[in-house]
Amino acid sequence: ETKKSSSKSSVSVPLYATEGGEDASKKRKTLAQAFNNMGRAEMDRRIRRFFFASSLPFNVARSPYWKDVVTGLANCSLSGYVPPSSEKLSTIILAEKANIEKLLEKKKFSWIQYGVSIVSDGWTDIQRRPLINFIAYSLDEPIFLKCVDASGEYKDVEYLKGLFIEVIKEVGEDNVVQPITDNAP
């Protein structure tokens, strides 16, 4: 007959033991220690300064890529990490652009099958320049196509028609289901 092992296992060292013999689970941290409020406040200050000094629009903070960078930095704990220089970024960005274009080609393939809507939206940036965004909407996620600086232009039907024709040619005339615009004059 085989011996049945007991349901209780013997542990020679108490779980959560500390040098003083206290149970570590009973040691409580203050809220400031638990959430590192001073460190968070300092990082928030640095981020605010970065946005302000670089004249970055605050909606950059909504970007999932921005959040990915910040989360990655917080989780990596890379002491001594130095971010890439502008020279390195300008060379790496070409490789990243090629990678993004490759990913977008897969999405653009659905345009041939199902069609795509071209949407324009006019807005004014923080330097008070009138800009017009063009975005492609299809079954997949929307894809930003381009932004046009319309400074010095009268944004009437003829001007918008010319911009739409240019974008439609880039996307492929047979792929476009409809153009959509806001209430431009």
Residue closest to 108 by CA, chosen among 176, 45, 62: 176
Name the residue with higher pLDDT: 29 or 141. Answer: 141
What's the pLDDT score for residue 28? Answer: 66
Domain residue limits, the chain: 28-76, 101-180
Across 12-139, the runs of DSSP E, i.e. the strands, are: 116-124, 130-137
Residues 158 and 150 sit within 8 Å (Cβ to Cβ) = no
User: Which run of H or E residues covers position 88?
Assistant: helix 86-114
**pTM exceeds 0.75 for this model:** no
Residues 111 and 172 sit within 8 Å (Cβ to Cβ) = yes
**Maximum CA pair distance of the chain?**
95
For residue 152, pLDDT over 70 is answered with: yes
Name the residue with higher pLDDT: 149 or 78. Answer: 149
Tell me what percent of the residues of the chain surpass a pLDDT of 70.
79
pLDDT band at 12 (very low <50, low <70, confident <90, very high): very low
For residue 118, pLDDT over 80 is answered with: yes
